[in-house]
Structure 1
Amino acid sequence: MTENIAAELLSSVLGGFIDKEKNSATEEFSPRLLSNKKGDTVWDHLKYELQNCSHFTFAVAFITSDMLVPLKVVLADLAKQGIKGKILTSDYLSFNQPKVFKELLKIPNITVKVSVQSGFHAKGYFFEHIKENYVSAIIGSANLTRAALLANYEWNIRLSSYTNGEVTQELRQSLKEAWQNAVPVTSTWIKTYELDYVPQNSSSKNKAATTKKLSLPQIKPNKMQQDALKELHNLRAGGGKRGLVISATGTGKTYLGAFDVQQFKPKKLLFVVHREQILEKAMSSFKRILGGESCDYGILSGNRFDQNARYLFATIQTLSKDAVLKQFSKETFDYLLIDEAHRAGAKTYRKVLAYFKPQFCLGMTATPERNDDFSIYQLFDYNIAYEIRLQDALEERMLCPFHYVGIQDYEYQGKVIADQTPLRFLASKKRVDYLLKQLNYYGYSGNKARGLIFCSRKDEARKIAQLLCEKGHPAAALSGEDTIDYRQKAVLKLEQGELEYLVTIDIFNEGIDIPSINQVVMLRSTQSSIVFIQQLGRGLRKAAEKDFVTILDFIGNYKNNYLIPLSLTGDKSRSKDSVREDLAVPPVIGLSTINFTKVARERIYEAIQAVKLDSLASLRNGYRELKQKLGRIPLLFDFQKFGTVDAAVFAENHLLANYYHFLLKMKENVFLSAYEDQVLSFVTKELLNGMRRHELLLLSMLMEQAQITDSEYINLLKKHSCYYDEQTLKSVSQILNLNFFRIKAGKKLKSKAYGERPIAEHKNGSYRLNADIQASLAKKSLFSRLFKDALNTGLYKARDYKADRPFTLYRKYTRKDVCRLLNWEKDVSAPMYGYRVGSRACPIFITYLKDDPEKKRSASYENEFINTSLIRWYTRSPRHLYSTEVKQLLQADEDGENIVKPYLFIKKSDAEGKSFFYCGECSIEKDSAAEQLISVPHKKARSVVSMILRLKMPLQYNRFLSLTGKG
């Protein structure tokens, strides 16, 4: 063992178990309590340890197949490096299903045994680092299950030790004995286990299911449904007669519709569907929400005609007949609800919508996009009341969790499958063999495969289906050329188990409901985020005996690979930095995981590097899509709520002063005066980010009334739970009168980009907009709309920031933003560089990985995280312990607290732009300050002061991995 690692281990013991002040060990060695906090799951640590060990042993009583998919991804990469491991588990309480053992046997680089020890209930993960002669372990309460590694409140200790440490030796010996006495898992052993296997608590589960049927729990709107109901109420309050709710498949659209009917309280409701089979189920759902007598509910179909029911559920086929329509007056129903509203462009639907005159009409769909030129948005007056996004639905656990696996596609003749690959390679026997190998390795939830395979071409789909059948995996190819009847029969065969796979191109992107799907396979490039999510979403509806969906994405040499992380995370920032971060350390979304093999990740990195995500061409495409969706010129607020581009992208684009300039580039017939342009630029560039609500709230209120008193403004801040004090109020005035931007570079230099007059002034105890802005707003012209739009967008974005404090953890800020939020009188960001010591605060900006070796200081003196709580930081040079700013930093009050508070901001590299992640407030470790000499290439050594900063809130582990480049 090297002296460095030995010192680290010794420090980790002292700091972790005796006195935290003694801890100078790096994160890899520091003992940690792992309990599945947000951004810091047991799985994060387990994965990191696996990726950095030379051998591993798991001793876990219980294993579930829902966590084996992401584990297999990591182990597949380890297998290529020749790294192997062992898993010791049990048959205790019959918890482990036979399928779990079958799945474990598929992993080539592990050996599996079952303990014969009575009551084996161990939960430990042991990692050897043979070259470095040390071991690490995670021991506690977490079994190898999805709930334990991702979600449950667990207690696990992660620790490291010399290989010959006493506890380590005891652990190794216990593992050795348990392993020697255990039984190898083989196919024969599994067959015997299956014969004796009794599902855990099967009788109590059946009893619980029976009880549930007898007494159904009351259903209440979840958070997203509450938000949607609020938006629907606001739409009607604003005079809207029609509205559209876009809600991902399986997120409870029917219940949402029932909840809105409940809040609307119509005298008569008409619910329209396209299939008779849906009627009874929909009516049952409404009964659970609305209650009432059975006679209140009725069906209108080919078999029933309950036209007098208060709540009438009708098929479009029956309702659209002239003879049926004429039996109702046009005002019979005051609430009309169209299910699967993407079908409403058909003549039958348009006929019904044209006939009835309800007080309100709601359309609900998961997929509003259509292949023809008809606009569903237009049919519902372009009123998108609410959109439930996939990622939010997964966080709310409204959908079946998925495990996405990005793996490299088949290689032929030394080439990877690409956009122009000939059919003979796309649909070759070798590619199908490769496909089946991966499908078998990663598996599925349940006892039988029911999968959808998406291809790029019809002939490819037909050939692959044929080859799958020949290999003993019944499959059928489907395309738009097949009749509806033929498709429905194929779907039925899949559901009944007669087929394993349906191989198709784009016909199953929407309008298909197969809850039993447990595999979605993508054998084509990602053409758009919308299509990607539509195809992935085919498997996300919950179903019995389905705990998760396996999503296998075969990633070839495609130019659009950069869309994959964007689609999976719903990222609208158009920031390469953000996409790379999600690729390096993929987030866990609810109970769903995102996983890439090493080669697949490299393919995506290459695509990210080659594309400009925030180009004007890209913004134009997003604009055109949204304009078609809304039927009018989109505003920034529309982009924030419904578009594929975050409104901040327009504000941060250096080619655009404000959104008006973008509209000009889009050839829209718009006009602002020169001064209106400057004012809009101010709001866009300085306030639209939403980092502080104070200025936005004040300007919004000043749009409604000419003057606001100090007390009115303070009451407004209180209403919105905003922090305030004398310095903050003074800062708001400095921002709005533009003095903050009047940097000393000549006595008369002013912020000409924003005009030379104050936007708003604070005089005699009240605030007022300047006269020119008041006059422009009074015209209710384009300026008024764009000004209000920028304020509304800023307030909408402010929901991502804490209202009761200046900074929000892990949000990004520029040096200029920090100057403003610290209430400094001037923007002094230009000369700030690494830090600036103020009277009460010292913001510290660290670029963790330096790109230019010539600019690096001595490697011994680079700012470096010791662990997730501690970072060693160096001042600029030349500085000494007696330097004024150093003495200011070290000065403490009578309680030992630093008078000047350090605030830590970090970015991984300069490639990430000007913004830094806020990592929290720090304190300076007592007696850690030391004066040292540093050497810089081609320069004389200079003195600096080093000190250790302690974060008041330790970094989330996934954030630590991302910022330090260890992910």
Structure 2
Amino acid sequence: MNLLQSLEDSIYKGFIDQTKPSGERFKPTLLINNTKTNETVLNSITEELDSCQSFLFSVAFVTESGLATLKTHLSDLQQKGIKGRILTSTFLNFNQPKVFKELMKINNVEVRLSSMKGFHSKGYIFSHDTHQTLIVGSSNLTAQALKVNYEWNVKLSSHENGEFVSHFYHQFEEVWESAQPLTEQWITSYEQSYVPMEYRKELTNVAEFPEVYTENPLEESINIKPNKMQKAALQEIQAVRESGNDKGLVISATGTGKTYLSAFDVREFAPKRMLFIVHREQILQKAKADFIRILGGVEKDFGILSGNLRETDARYLFATIQTISKEETLRQLDPQAFDYILIDEVHKAGAKSYQRVIEHFQPKFLMGMTATPERTDDFNIYELFDYNVAYEIRLQEALEEDMLCPFHYFGVTDVEYEEGVIDEATVFSKLITEERVDHLLQKVYYYGHSGDKVRGLMFCSRKEEAIKLSEELNRRGLKTVALTGQNSQEERILQVERLENGVIDYILTVDIFNEGIDIPSVNQVVMLKQTQSSIIFIQQLGRGLRKHGSKEFVTIIDFIGNYKNNYLIPIALSGERSQNKDNIRRRMKDTSYIKGISTVNFEEIAKNRVFSAIKKSNLSDMKILREAYIELKNRIGHIPQLQDFIHHNSIDPLVIVQKYTTYHQFLLKLKEIDPLVNAYEEQVLTMLSLEILNGKRLHEILLLELLLKKEKVTMDTYEQYIQSYNCSFDSETLASVQRIMDLSFFNQGSRKKYGTTPLVDFGIDGIEFNEEIQESLEQNSSFQAMLLDIVISAKELNKNYRCDKPLTLYKKYTRKDACRLLNWTSDESSTIYGYKTKHGTCPIFVTYHKNDEVESSVAYTEGFISPEIFTWSTRSNRTLASAEVKTIIGAAESNIDLHLFIKKDDDEGGDFYYLGQALPDKSSVEQALMKDKNLKDIPVVHMNLALENMVEGKLYHYIASEEN
């Protein structure tokens, strides 16, 4: 299908008849921000930017945060030599002087300012090789408009000769010609005359936060009410107590107000005396001030126990663990002195000092608070609190609830030397070269910060780097200090105060500020080290997530070298813990899991480095799986079942069984259990784990579910149960289910592995397990529990798949899956050399980026022409006269369904994305010659396949891009 035809079909579908079967690619589309479907106006704009040849924006309002969402995309376009123009204004004095300074940093964008009265346009025009795209409506270039607000925008596509889009071009050019170029001199003049509009905070959503009180009248404190999250948390904490528990654990992301929450709960509990324990002295005064504000009362009710201060008679005592854990201190305090005890950063409670304190006191209620309960020191925090998680809110939920300062994360490229990119083995001298410091400053300057002055933290890879880099930055005019573990607590407090007061620009450190430090005004966090763990990554990112009136957002700049642990970045940002490589890749290409106005952005080269790390990683390594297993076991207090991994967003059960065949074998490997099943039971579990657990078809799962409830099931009962789930129902599918359950579908090797005997007997009078399985279910409760666990887990995993169709768009399938789900009589995956026609279907499997050997010897002509057209090649030595080629060309007439499956490269294993049904464009079919491995000319047939469904943007760009 040519471009003009696609445009005509799209216009017809959009404006005349929405039932037209084709015309998806260019159809007019309403763009809105929809949190339920994770659709945003920003997604459409960045997709257009990433594939355009030039662009024009005409927007009245621009904010720093809105511009930040596009900075990596604009940087990548500059690398490609692609330029754009932005037309804006000073209408209503909305645009702050600083945003114009940020615009000046973008070298491939020319900016002009319209003096037109009432300039209030909101339009984005993108020029592509084949067409023009226009996005016009209500969205200005602000993060709120692009990601959060309820906005209406229309996306239209046009041929370059189209009259409609040409009107926009002409209007833009007309205003552009009379507009004033943005210059440094203009900005200086604007700054001098700029008067901010009175309602700026309302429009730009800058949070206002009250000052910290050192004391507070009781009547004022009563008027301070908990927010929505805190109300929910308080109810759950109270529910823990009402259930007779005297301990509760609160898991709350950094910056979400754990101290305020605990103060509200203390106010509700009304203890005679309270003890609040922290691990650093500098937190004490802040915690005390927060409690005074919430509880009210007089200053003398609130005391400090630390260093030289020993105000132990206070009703509310705030103590450091270092002081209160001393034997002489504990001897002076009655074990029942405090009826409410709080421990901050309680994940440290495995230390002897904490254990000593916990064992000494006997409070009526013990509260623990942490952002990171997952530990690597083998101490079980959950057990300490009797597995009572009173409340939990992680980073994603906190962002969605607008509890944290929004952030813009930028994964940027670290410097590359002749001998390669910085990695784990890079010598210290290379970390502080002129070239690297130049590179660092260039990126820090480009991505910037919110607010008038930078207040930044830089996390370095080693102590020497922090010290030397600080010296070099100071030499270049910045004001920085390096802090390491060797600096005293007093020195750290002093430098934090200097940073907050604007005396210095940056604190450079290694790991001492990962947690337990509160600097709300931090507006930039720079990561100059490899990611060692997702826990530490989130702790460091969290240093900037506290809201503060001086900033709208925090900038996170992560310098990505060739580190083997780069794959931890998408894991940390998304909270993805499945250890499933495909899930992690998806988090890289689709970052819509980040809520609110926050964004995650990777420069193209940096993105490739992360993909490369994912490819090289061994996520099913026993060490990784054991850690995740222990973490979950600690959390729930017993050996997990497969379904527990799903419900707690832990390891993907499929990762476990792909490596260990069954969960039973995994537990044996961990030495968690002795053998619980006999040889045949293990074979049954193997079959169900490898073939049914993936949840790709619900029909077998429902049958097993019924059989576990009843000894025998009639066909009518089974059919009715299937229909109750709105599943497709036909004789071919039912016959396929039977072939799976009696093992006749599988090849000889698989049948031997699965026990050869049919698992299920399909008789005239009903369906039932074979006699051996029935006997095992009666006699071996462990086998019964494992089988039921597989069925429950498979049913949960099936929620990701459609039930009314055999295949679900964009899900991944193997060749064997295709044979099974397309109702083939047997597994012929070993003989599907790219494609095979059988039973009225023809699955086509394509590896998009072939390895060099295949590329040079076969040289297929395959690839996307557009998101709905794929150029495809038959096997070599085929001509237009070949029977298999004729069958595919005449698929429509012969009622043969062509199904296209594509994987990016061989690293994705045997799984292919399903891109839907397709039909050959007969006008594109041609026979050609190609070279075989002996450089001999052999025939091949090329054709374009028109996809029934246009490939969704992020997947399309992921597959087609040249990422490693």
TM-score bracket, normalised by the shorter chain, equals 0.7 to 0.9
Distance in 2, matches of 1:916 and 1:230, equals 44
Alignment of 1:660 with 2:656, yes or no, is no
In 2, the alpha carbon distance for the partners of 1:396 and 1:765 equals: 56
Q: Distance in 2 between matches of 1:464 and 1:164?
A: 55
Check whether the contact 1:453–1:504 (CA below 8 A) recurs between aligned residues. Answer: yes
CA 738–360 in structure 1, closer or farther in 2 if over 3 Å, else same: farther
Confirm or deny: 8 A CA contact 1:410 1:431 kept in the other structure: yes
- The Cα RMSD (Å) is 5.3
Offset of 1:453 from its aligned partner?
0.5
2:948 to 938, 947, 950: 950
1:593 matches 2:599: yes
1:100 aligns with 2:105: no
Match of 1:489 in 2: 494
Aligned to 1:187: 184
Counterpart amino acid of 2:522?
I
Q: CA 1:707/1:166 → structure 2, altered by over 3 Å: closer, same or farther?
A: closer
**How far apart are 1:369 and its partner, in Å?**
5.7
Q: Distance in 2 between matches of 1:757 and 1:103?
A: 70
Pairing 1:34-433 to 2, within 5 Å after superposition: 34-36=31-33, 38=37, 41-128=40-127, 135-161=132-158, 163=160, 165-202=162-199, 205=202, 219-221=227-229, 244-251=249-256, 253=258, 272-274=276-278, 275=284, 277-278=286-287, 281=290, 322=330, 326=334, 328=336, 338-346=343-351, 349-355=354-360, 362-368=367-373, 376-377=381-382, 379-380=384-385, 388-412=393-417, 415-433=420-438
In the alignment, the residues of structure 1 paired with residue 163 and residue 892 of structure 2 have an alpha-carbon distance, to the nearest angstrom, of 44
Task: Report SS of the residue matched to 1:189.
Answer: helix
Task: Give the Cα separation in 1 of the matches to 2:115 and 2:716.
Answer: 74
Query: Aligned partners of 2:287 and 2:717: how far apart in 1?
Result: 53
Say if 1:54 and 1:83, in contact at 8 Å, map to a contact too: yes
Deviation at 1:117, TM superposition (A): 0.3
Please say if residues 521 and 553 of structure 1, whose CA atoms lie closer than 8 Å, have aligned partners that are also in contact: yes
Q: Secondary structure at the match of 2:359?
A: helix
1:935: how far off? 5.3
CA contact (8 A) 2:699 2:737 kept: no
Which one of 730, 735, 741 corresponds to residue 739 of structure 1?
741
Is contact 1:273–1:279 with CA below 8 Å preserved after alignment? no
- Say whether 1:912 aligns with 2:908: yes
Structure 1 distance, partners of 2:67, 2:945, is 44
Aligned partner of 1:755 in structure 2 is 755
Q: Which moved more, 1:58-67 or 1:640-649?
A: 640-649
Q: Call closer, same or farther: CA 1:4–1:845 in 2, change over 3 Å.
A: closer
> How far apart are 1:521 and its partner, in Å?
0.6
What's the % identity of the aligned pairs?
Answer: 40
Per-residue Cα deviation, 1:368-400 (whole angstroms, up to 9, x for no partner): 366877554553457778764434544554433
Query: 2:665 is aligned with what amino acid?
Result: H
Point out where structure 1 has 5 or more consecutive residues left out of the alignment.
288-292, 891-899
Verify the 8 A CA contact 2:741 2:760 in the aligned structure 1.
no
- Following superposition, the deviation at residue 13 of structure 1 comes to 5.6
Residues 716-739 of structure 1: per-residue CA shift (max 9 Å, x gap): 979x9844586699959946x953
TM-aligned CA distance change 1:57 to 1:725, over 3 Å: closer
User: Residues 823 and 713 (structure 1 numbering): CA distance in 2 closer, same or farther, change over 3 Å?
Assistant: farther
Q: 1:115 to 1:835 in 2, by over 3 A?
A: farther
Contact 1:44 1:957 in 2 (8 A): no
Closer/same/farther in 2, CA of residues 775 and 4 from structure 1, 3 Å limit: closer
Residues 1:440 and 2:436 aligned together: no
1:524 aligns with 2:529: yes
Aligned partner of residue 191 in structure 2, secondary structure: helix
Cα distance change on mapping 1:910 and 1:397 into 2, 3 Å: farther
Q: Deviations over 1:688-708 (max 9, x none)?
A: 3344567667767877x6758
Tell me if structure 1 keeps the 8 A contact 2:207–2:549: no
Q: Report if the CA contact (8 A) 2:521-2:551 is conserved.
A: yes
CA contact (8 A) 2:742 2:761 kept: no
Is contact 1:87–1:110 with CA below 8 Å preserved after alignment?
A: yes
Residue in structure 2 matched with residue 456 of structure 1 by the alignment: 461
Give 5+ residue unaligned stretches, structure 2: 211-219, 279-283, 306-310, 875-881, 931-936
Matching of residues 865-944 of structure 1 within 5 Å:
867=867, 878=884, 886-887=892-893, 889=895, 906-918=902-914, 934=927, 937=930
| Contact kept in structure 1, 2:470 and 2:482, CA below 8 Å | yes
> Which letter does structure 2 place at the counterpart of 1:77?
D
Structure 1 Cα separation of the partners of residues 237 and 717 of structure 2: 27
Secondary structure of the equivalent of 1:326?
Answer: coil
**Residues 442/916 of structure 1: CA separation in 2 closer, same or farther (3 Å cut):** same
Change (3 A) 1:442 1:866: closer
Q: CA deviation at 1:299?
A: 6.7
Per the TM alignment, residue 85 of structure 1 is displaced from its structure 2 partner at its CA by 2.6
Amino acid at match of 1:202: Y
2:895 match: secondary structure: helix
Counterpart Cα distance in 2 of 1:843 and 1:153: 44
Give the 3 Å change call, closer, same or farther, for CA 958–753 of structure 1 in structure 2.
Answer: same
Matches within 5 A, 1:756-905: 756-757=756-757, 759=759, 783=783, 786-787=786-787, 790-791=790-791, 793-794=793-794, 797-798=797-798, 800=800, 810-817=810-817, 834=835, 846-847=845-846, 849=848, 851=850, 852=854, 859=861, 867=867, 878=884, 886-887=892-893, 889=895
Residue 505 of structure 1: how far off its partner (Å): 0.6
Answering whether residue 542 of structure 2 is matched by residue 540 of structure 1, we say: no
| Deviation readout 1:885-909 (Å, 9 max, x if unpaired) | 744638xxxxxxxxx8x87755445
Please tell me whether the aligned partners of residues 889 and 922 of structure 2 are also in contact (alpha carbons under 8 angstroms).
no
**Residue 103 of structure 1: how far off its partner (Å):** 0.7
When the two structures are aligned, how many residues end up with a matched partner? Answer: 915
Alignment-derived partner of residue 894 in structure 1? none
Q: Whole-Å Cα distance in 1 between the matches of residues 287 and 98 of structure 2?
A: 35
Matched-pair contact (CA < 8 Å) for 2:918–2:945: no
Q: Relative to 1, partners in 2 of residues 1:373 and 1:651: Cα closer, same or farther, differing over 3 Å?
A: closer
CA distance in 2, matches of 1:412, 1:555: 14
Q: 1:100 & 1:763 partners in 2: Cα distance?
A: 75
Evaluate the alpha carbon distance shift between residue 794 and residue 278 of structure 1 in structure 2; reply closer, same or farther with a 3 A threshold. Answer: farther
1:584-603: per-residue Cα shift (whole Å, max 9, x none)?
Answer: 56556223322222332343
State the Cα distance separating 1:455 from its structure 2 match.
0.6
- Deviation (angstroms), 1:544: 2.4
Q: Deviations over 1:612-664 (max 9, x none)?
A: 443456545655776788887665456556686432211223xx221333344
Q: Distance in 2 between matches of 1:767 and 1:267?
A: 63
User: Is the 1:738–1:759 contact (alpha carbons within 8 Å) kept by the matching residues of 2?
Assistant: no
8 Å CA contact retained: 2:230, 2:261: no
Secondary structure, aligned partner of 1:889:
coil
Alignment pair present for 1:563 and 2:601: no
